[in-house]
């Protein structure tokens, strides 16, 4: 039995890393711009479908490189057209807008690519397990871990070492001051949004190799992302990362002891965190308002 | 302050009345919509959006094919027949119920069709029963529809989970072994299917070594697969349908589990099979209808007709829609009336003609239960077959009538109006 | 005001269910607006309490065979208790975070309704019950077969709830809510107990929305877990915004437009989701003050 537990914890970390990737994009956008991007799942689906369409021409690796930036570009366009005017206003409006966008995305993907699930081709050598005993360590999952680690590492590096990153971090704390210091806040927000969507697109391409690709692929993934952010702490990216990993591990453990509660356990976790520490595990003070 | 409010309120009143009139104008065309007063109307209230949209859309195609054929042969009781389509959406029952009422009250349909979603089917059945309309359920699987919640006016085309389980259990034990582990979706369909499978396998000396209930919409099955493999079964039985099955199989094959354990399941359909990468198209399953039936008359024509319309082969769902509409026409013809009660009585033990049944066994609506008993196709999923869309190799065609339980087992106590 | 309603409803004719649905949704949207438009707090998870009210009502009828009105009352009690507990948990948050958490809790209830098969019927929904005729002692109101009678019943409940809300909003309590909406910090300085008031507003809002939920269950003679999903929550918010958040009757207008539009569009095309999504986008971008908001400024100018 303990082997099963160990396997599940291990596997939970891998799955959690994937959740973290998606949640991080969402968190990035939320922290700087105060926008709850309900359409994040839609961007994920779009990234996946774009990759699916591109694979016959440029192969899997090409699609992996090209699809996320393409999605980010679309994200930038939408940000410029629709979300930018909403920044000063009540967060209600951006939530409603992205909510409506989520509807549109699902319908458009269904229109273009059909309601049916489509087969997504991942290179064969990635698909098999690395070891017979640790069979759940497929090449693909390890690969996914590496990509997520790279993306997360890259994100944190950008935030820590580049000027853009510094501005984003400063802006997250106090956007007004950053603006008076002469930074073009509009551009900052756009770039931030673009990075967030890039991560959604990347998550989409990775997801398509793991799951069935259908227009509703994003819908099931958005709630765990929300919970990851709430648990990990509002305003903290590291918290979101940890939140995502915790979700993965918690689900894995639940599968061992309470199989039908794998979904419930993440909400229970969320409720506990809210009771004990409303701002989340690594949440910052003053982020509540 | 009070004065401003009074004026505000009266202004609002005017505005509201104005909007109401405008609303009536927009709604007007609906009420007075010019539908051919002569036509017989069949209302389809099925999901065309949401997770099971692909199934609903295929059923719609089958319905449309049937409508065209019926009209080409003179219609129903000499009148043309038309199909009124409403998207029940995959949202809550309220929409489906509202659409059903709209179809019945406003559009004056003579027949109601739907729903693929079990909850919505049950909700709509309550409406159709209340209003006394003949109701055919093409693809909603919960056993209750022709079981504990059966109604005299509700008929179902697709199989019950009990029938599917009975059909495939023997094949699983013969081919794979006696010890099975179940991955069951945690909702009514899954529960009844698993209960049926466990019973069927136990009757053949099989053994259930374990199982897991998975939440509907689970994206990652790895934890369950880890547990399943640790229990050391002969076969892991995937009872999850649709996209869940897709995810589970894809991941199981990625894990290389098929080299250690057999992978199989019960309910299977073309739509999710198409989404599987070829190497994951494995295992023993049961389908409710399959297009590649060499030697069975009329099937090839149906396949050709569907290909001409859509470019793809028909799926079980296409056939469900086709049968549902034809059932309406045939019921009216046999009863020589459009009264639901007469038609329902006419359908008791009613046999579908071979060009509709499209299978080797007779297809008929079992009396007292209103459940269609036809053929079930047990076989193996395959990466490649004799034709581009041939994803399934049929190894045995089971006679539905032989695997259906007794009336008592179904729990159906049908009450006829006096 | 409400007396006018029956006349034009009858003029539209045989599609009474649509009118009843508008009344139910209108009540739900107006309840949400108590919190949203008048207290300035966004909840994106109101469908949970709507659903709790609905399930409470349905289960009361199914398991205890009570009359329609007591059933609604039971549903309301269940939902209100839940709102009190959840409200206490989340009251420290504001703005986007509050909204996010309400979404998450909405999902929790969806999940419970889905899983607790034995009690709630799970995915199949709670069936096998229907609304019973109301016995007034001297007469029986048949709201079962008679759709129009049910419409008036729903309208009566609607009127009661709306009147209660109006009374509350005009009271000193109501005015302090508006003060909180306008400037929370200043209200705090003025000695208004913010947390308590927001919590109370949240609970009251959930109370009325659960009454709407109970009506909804009675309308369909059915309830299933999808009624608790975040889609419905989003729809309620858009109804409030579409009609005009700052006005009392706005959400009812928003509900009327939205429900009728959704019904019409989904009959016309399979791509109705895009249209509805577009409505969200357009309203937010171009009509954030809603129909009544626009008309009011229009009338002033």
Which tens digits make up the pLDDT trace of B58-102?
999 999 999 999 999 989 998 999 999 999 887 777 888 888 988
Report if residue B24 sits inside a domain: no
**Closest by alpha carbon to C259, among B27, B14, B279, B406?**
B27
**Are B193 and B277 found together in one domain?**
yes
C121 φ, ψ (degrees, to nearest 5):
80, -5
**Are B265 and B341 found together in one domain?**
no
| Cα–Cα distance measured from residue C31 to residue C47, given in angstroms and rounded to the nearest whole number | 11
Report if residue A283 sits inside a domain: no
* C182: contact with B, CB 8 A cutoff: no
Give the model's pLDDT for residue C83: 92
Give the model's pLDDT for residue C12: 53
Burial-class residue C261 by CB neighbours within 10 Å (0-12, 13-18, 19+).
middle
Q: Looking at the partner chain, which of C1, C17, C292 has a beta carbon nearest the beta carbon of B98?
A: C17
* B108: contact with C, CB 8 A cutoff: no
Secondary structure (3-state) at B263 = strand
Contact A256 B247 (CB under 8 A): no
**Are B104 and B139 found together in one domain?**
yes
Contact C17 B102 (CB under 8 A): yes
Q: Looking at the partner chain, which of C222, C253, C266 has a beta carbon nearest the beta carbon of B87?
A: C266
Instruction: Locate the chain B residue with the closest alpha carbon to A256.
Output: B227
Whether B316 shows a pLDDT value over 90: the answer reads yes
Q: How far is C70 from chain A (nearest CA, A)?
A: 32
Is B191 in contact with B162 (CB distance < 8 Å)? Answer: no
**Are B170 and B272 found together in one domain?**
yes
pLDDT tens, residue by residue, C47-79:
999 999 998 888 888 888 777 788 889 889 999
Q: What is the CATH number of the domain that holds A135?
A: 1.10.3470
Give the model's pLDDT for residue A43: 94
* C112: contact with B, CB 8 A cutoff: no
Q: What is the DSSP string of A98-152?
A: HHHHHHHHHHHHHHHH-SS-B-----HHHHSBS-STTTT-BHHHHHHHHHHHHHH
User: Which residue, among A29, A42, A99, would best test binding to C if mutated, counting the most C CBs under 10 Å from its CB?
Assistant: A99
Q: Looking at the partner chain, which of C1, C15, C266 has a beta carbon nearest the beta carbon of B105?
A: C15
* C219: contact with B, CB 8 A cutoff: yes
Residue B180: give the domain boundaries: 162-287
Q: Looking at the partner chain, which of C128, C226, C291 has a beta carbon nearest the beta carbon of B91?
A: C226
Chains that touch A (3 or more CB pairs under 8 A): B, C
* A93: contact with C, CB 8 A cutoff: yes
Contact B214 A260 (CB under 8 A): yes
Report if residue B14 sits inside a domain: no
Give the model's pLDDT for residue C11: 53
Report if residue B203 sits inside a domain: yes
Report if residue B26 sits inside a domain: no
Q: How far is A113 from chain B (nearest CA, A)?
A: 11
Q: Provide the domain count of chain A.
A: 1
Is B213 in contact with B190 (CB distance < 8 Å)? Answer: yes
Report if residue B128 sits inside a domain: yes
Please give the C-alpha separations between residue B46 and each of B56, B160, B229, in angstroms, as whole numbers: 6, 19, 38
Which of B287, B307, B339 is the last residue in one of the domains?
B287
Give the model's pLDDT for residue C93: 77
Contacts A288 to C, Cβ<8 Å: 92-95, 97
Give contacts of B 335-394 with C, CB under 8 A: none
Predicted confidence band at C134 (pLDDT cuts at 50, 70, 90)?
low
**Are B210 and B277 found together in one domain?**
yes
pLDDT tens, residue by residue, B122-136:
889 988 998 999 999
Give the model's pLDDT for residue B156: 95
Residue A166: give the domain boundaries: 2-276
* B28: contact with A, CB 8 A cutoff: no
User: Which residue, among A5, A115, A203, would best test binding to B if mutated, counting the most B CBs under 10 Å from its CB?
Assistant: A115
Whether A159 shows a pLDDT value over 60: the answer reads yes
Which of B373, B393, B408 is the last residue in one of the domains?
B373
Rounded to 10°, the helix B161-176/B188-203 angle is 50
**Are B298 and B216 found together in one domain?**
no
**Are B141 and B176 found together in one domain?**
no
User: Which residue, among C274, C284, C288, would best test binding to A if mutated, counting the most A CBs under 10 Å from its CB?
Assistant: C284
Of A103-117, A203-217, C60-74, C108-122, minimum mean pLDDT range = C108-122
Report if residue A236 sits inside a domain: yes
Q: Provide the domain count of chain B.
A: 2
CA Rg value for chain B? 24
Predicted confidence band at A289 (pLDDT cuts at 50, 70, 90)?
very low
What percent of chain B has a predicted confidence (pLDDT) above 70?
91
* Average pLDDT of the segment spanning C30-50: 89
pLDDT tens, residue by residue, B277-308:
888 899 999 999 999 999 899 999 999 999 99
Domain residue ranges of chain C, discontinuous segments joined by +: 2-229
| Cα–Cα distance measured from residue B64 to residue B54, given in angstroms and rounded to the nearest whole number | 15
Predicted confidence band at B36 (pLDDT cuts at 50, 70, 90)?
very low
Report if residue B283 sits inside a domain: yes
């Amino acid at each position: 039995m303990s082997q099963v537990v160990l396997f599940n914890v291990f596997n939970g970390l891998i799955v959690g890393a994937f959740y973290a990737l998606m949640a991080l994009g969402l968190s990035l956008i939320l922290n700087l711009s105060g926008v709850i991007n309900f359409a994040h799942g839609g961007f994920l689906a779009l990234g996946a479908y774009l990759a699916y369409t591109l694979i016959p021409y440029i192969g899997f690796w090409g699609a992996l490189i090209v699809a996320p930036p393409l999605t980010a570009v679309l994200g930038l366009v939408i940000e410029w057209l629709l979300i930018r005017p909403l920044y000063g206003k009540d967060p209600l409006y951006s939530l409603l807008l992205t909510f409506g966008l989520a509807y549109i995305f699902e319908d458009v993907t269904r229109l273009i690519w059909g309601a049916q699930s489509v087969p997504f081709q991942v290179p064969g050598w990635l698909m098999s397990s690395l070891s017979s005993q640790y069979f759940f360590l497929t090449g693909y999952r390890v690969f996914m871990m590496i990509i997520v680690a790279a993306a997360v590492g890259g994100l944190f590096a950008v935030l820590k070492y580049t000027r853009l990153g510094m501005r984003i971090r400063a802006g997250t704390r106090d956007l007004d001051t950053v603006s008076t210091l002469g930074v073009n806040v509009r551009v900052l927000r756009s770039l931030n949004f673009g990075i967030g969507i890039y991560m959604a697109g990347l998550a989409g391409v990775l997801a398509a190799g793991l799951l069935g690709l259908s227009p509703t692929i994003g819908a099931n993934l958005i709630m765990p992302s929300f919970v990851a952010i709430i648990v990990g702490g509002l305003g903290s990216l590291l918290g979101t990362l940890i939140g995502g990993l915790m979700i993965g591990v918690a689900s894995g453990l639940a599968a061992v002891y309470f199989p039908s509660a794998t979904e419930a356990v993440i909400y229970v976790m969320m409720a506990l965190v809210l009771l004990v520490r409303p701002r989340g595990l690594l949440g910052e003070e003053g982020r509540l308002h | 302050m009070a004065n401003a409010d009074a004026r505000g309120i009266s202004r609002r009143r005017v505005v509201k009345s104005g909007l109401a009139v405008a609303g009536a104008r927009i709604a007007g065309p609906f009420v007075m919509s010019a539908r051919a007063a002569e036509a017989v109307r069949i209302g389809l209230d099925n999901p065309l959006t949401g997770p099971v949209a692909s199934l609903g859309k295929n059923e719609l195609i089958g319905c449309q094919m049937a409508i065209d054929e019926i009209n080409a042969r003179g219609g129903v009781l000499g009148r043309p027949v038309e199909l009124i389509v409403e998207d029940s959406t995959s949202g809550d029952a309220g929409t489906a119920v509202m659409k059903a009422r709209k179809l019945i009250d406003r559009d004056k349909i003579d027949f109601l069709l739907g729903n693929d979603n079990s909850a919505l089917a049950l909700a709509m059945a309550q409406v159709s029963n209340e209003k006394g309309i003949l109701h055919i359920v093409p693809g909603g699987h919960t056993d209750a529809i022709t079981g504990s919640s059966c109604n005299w006016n509700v008929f179902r085309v697709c199989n019950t989970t009990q029938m599917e389980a009975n059909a495939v259990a023997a094949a699983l034990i013969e081919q794979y072994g006696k010890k099975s582990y179940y991955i069951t979706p945690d909702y009514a369909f899954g529960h009844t299917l698993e209960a049926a499978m466990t019973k069927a396998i136990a009757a053949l000396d099989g053994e259930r070594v374990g199982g897991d209930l998975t939440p509907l919409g689970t994206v990652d099955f790895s934890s369950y697969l880890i547990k399943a493999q640790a229990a050391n079964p002969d076969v892991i039985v995937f009872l999850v349908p649709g996209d869940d099955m897709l995810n589970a199989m894809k991941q199981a094959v990625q894990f290389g589990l098929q080299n250690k354990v057999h992978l199989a399941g019960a309910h299977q359909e073309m739509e999710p099979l198409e989404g599987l990468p070829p190497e994951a198209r494995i295992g023993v399953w049961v389908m409710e209808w399959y297009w590649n039936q060499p030697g069975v008359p009329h099937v090839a024509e149906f396949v050709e007709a569907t290909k001409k319309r859509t470019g793809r082969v028909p799926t079980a769902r296409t056939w469900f829609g086709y049968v549902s509409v034809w059932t309406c026409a045939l019921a009216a013809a046999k009863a020589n009336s459009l009264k639901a009660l007469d038609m329902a009585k006419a359908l008791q033990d009613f046999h579908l003609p071979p060009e509709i049944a499209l299978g080797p066994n007779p297809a008929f609506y079992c009396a007292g239960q209103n459940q269609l008993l036809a053929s079930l196709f047990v076989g193996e999923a395959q990466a490649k077959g004799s034709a581009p869309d041939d994803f399934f190799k049929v190894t045995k065609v089971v006679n539905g009538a032989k695997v259906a339980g007794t009336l008592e087992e179904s729990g159906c106590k049908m009450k006829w109006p006096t | 005001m409400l007396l006018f309603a029956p006349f034009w409803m009858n003029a539209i004719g045989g599609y009474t269910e649509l009118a009843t649905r508008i009344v139910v949704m209108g009540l739900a949207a107006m309840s949400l607006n108590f919190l949203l438009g008048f207290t300035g707090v966004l909840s994106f998870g109101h469908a949970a309490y709507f659903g709790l009210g609905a399930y409470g009502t349905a289960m009361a009828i199914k398991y205890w065979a009570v009359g329609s009105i007591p059933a609604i009352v039971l549903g309301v009690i269940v939902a209100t208790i839940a709102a009190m507990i959840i409200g206490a948990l989340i009251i420290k948050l504001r703005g986007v975070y509050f909204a996010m958490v309400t979404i998450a809790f909405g999902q929790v209830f969806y999940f419970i309704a889905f899983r607790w098969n034995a009690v709630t019927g799970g995915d199949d929904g709670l069936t096998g019950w229907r609304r019973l005729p109301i016995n007034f002692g001297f007469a029986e109101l048949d709201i079962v077969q008679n759709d129009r009678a049910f419409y008036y019943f729903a309208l009566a409940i609607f009127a009661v709830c709306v009147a209660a809300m109006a009374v509350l909003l005009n009271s000193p309590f109501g005015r302090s809510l508006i003060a909180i909406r306008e400037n929370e910090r200043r209200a705090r300085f003025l000695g208004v107990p913010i947390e308590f008031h927001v919590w109370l507003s949240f609970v009251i809002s959930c109370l009325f929305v659960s009454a709407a939920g109970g009506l909804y269950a009675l309308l369909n003679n059915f309830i299933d877990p999808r009624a608790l999903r975040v889609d419905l929550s989003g729809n309620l918010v858009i109804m409030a915004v579409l009609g005009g958040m700052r006005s009392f009757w706005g959400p009812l207008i928003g509900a009327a437009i939205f429900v009728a539009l959704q019904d019409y569009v989904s009959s016309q095309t399979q791509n109705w989701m895009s249209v509805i999504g577009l409505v969200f986008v357009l309203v937010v971008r171009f009509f954030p003050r809603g129909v009544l908001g626009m008309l009011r400024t229009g009338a002033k100018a």
